[in-house]
């Protein structure tokens, strides 16, 4: 009988220790996330040289808009790592055309094209989207940890969610602070996209292109049409 009680106490102790350990870990991660998200005026990528940029390109209009944004960046933003969905051939062609058209002016331009599984397809159910996003996250984390970008630039494709989460993880673990800049697509006039809603509080800078969105989301920055 004593052996049974002793065994029960040991199991309860292990369970309690696991719960306490989990809560402590959760608390530490929450504090770290708060510190990462807090605006830091001293953090300015490129103060000591070039800025490594991870650019999330989605299919269709997302890629067109993000490439227009890239035209406004100086040659200091290099290398540029474009990340697209593994089934997106059209975006790859657009990116190569864009980069090759600037090679004559800047022979030092460096870029790569990386692929990860698509996190969400058009009209995909929310339940299955969770699974595909987690699957995409498995590829995003090692990719972001390998590239260690200074800046993540995105404008709404579902693929940006696991990539931005991976960038935040770099900061939470104390590896590197990555600046996340989100520019909502021009076609979003009244409401944010799902990606925008998820990243509204997690991005360092959140830009919208319509004043109606600025009124609904005060944390955002409205600069008019920028693409």
For residue range 128-174, list pLDDT tens digits in order.
Answer: 788 888 999 999 999 999 999 999 999 988 899 999 999 999 999 99
Q: Which two tokens stand for residue 129?
A: 């989207």
Provide the pLDDT for residue 168. 95
pTM to 2 decimal places: 0.82
Q: Three-class SS of residue 189? A: coil
* HSE-CB for 27 with a 13 A CA cutoff: 6
Structural Rg of the chain based on CA atoms: 21
Number of helices (H) and strands (E) in the chain: give both, helices first.
7, 7
Strands ordered across the beta sheet of 179-183: 111-116, 80-85, 53-56, 151-154, 179-183, 205-208, 221-222
3 state SS of 10? helix
pLDDT digits (tens, 9 = 90+) for 89-119: 899 999 999 998 877 776 667 899 999 998 8
3-class secondary-structure state, position 205: strand
Name the residue among 39, 49, 100, 41 with its Cα closest to residue 74: 49
Query: Is residue 147 exposed (0-12), middle (13-18) or buried (19+ Cβ within 10 Å)?
Result: buried
* CATH classification code of 53-222: 3.40.50.2000
DSSP state of 192: -
The label of the residue with tokens 């970008």 reads 149
Token pair of 39, please? 């605006």
């Amino acid at each position: 009988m004593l052996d049974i009680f002793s065994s029960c106490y040991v199991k309860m102790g292990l369970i309690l220790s696991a719960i306490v350990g989990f809560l402590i870990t959760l608390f530490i991660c929450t504090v770290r996330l708060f510190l990462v998200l807090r605006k830091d005026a001293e953090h300015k990528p490129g103060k000591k040289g070039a800025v490594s940029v991870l650019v999330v390109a989605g299919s269709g209009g997302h890629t067109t808009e993000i490439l227009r944004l890239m035209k406004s960046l100086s040659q200091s933003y290099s290398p540029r790592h474009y990340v697209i969905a593994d089934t997106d051939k059209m975006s790859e062609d657009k990116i190569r055309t864009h980069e090759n058209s600037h090679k004559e002016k800047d022979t030092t331009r460096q870029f790569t094209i990386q692929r990860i599984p698509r996190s969400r397809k058009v009209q995909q159910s929310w339940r299955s989207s969770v699974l595909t996003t987690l699957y995409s996250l498995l590829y995003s984390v090692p990719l972001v940890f390998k590239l260690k970008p200074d800046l993540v630039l995105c404008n709404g494709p579902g693929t940006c969610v696991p990539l931005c989460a991976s960038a935040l993880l770099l900061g939470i673990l104390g590896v590197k602070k990555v600046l996340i800049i989100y520019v909502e697509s021009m076609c979003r006039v009244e409401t944010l996209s799902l990606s925008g809603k998820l990243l509204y509080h997690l991005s360092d800078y959140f830009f919208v292109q319509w004043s109606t969105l600025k009124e609904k989301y005060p944390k955002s920055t409205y600069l008019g049409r920028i693409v």
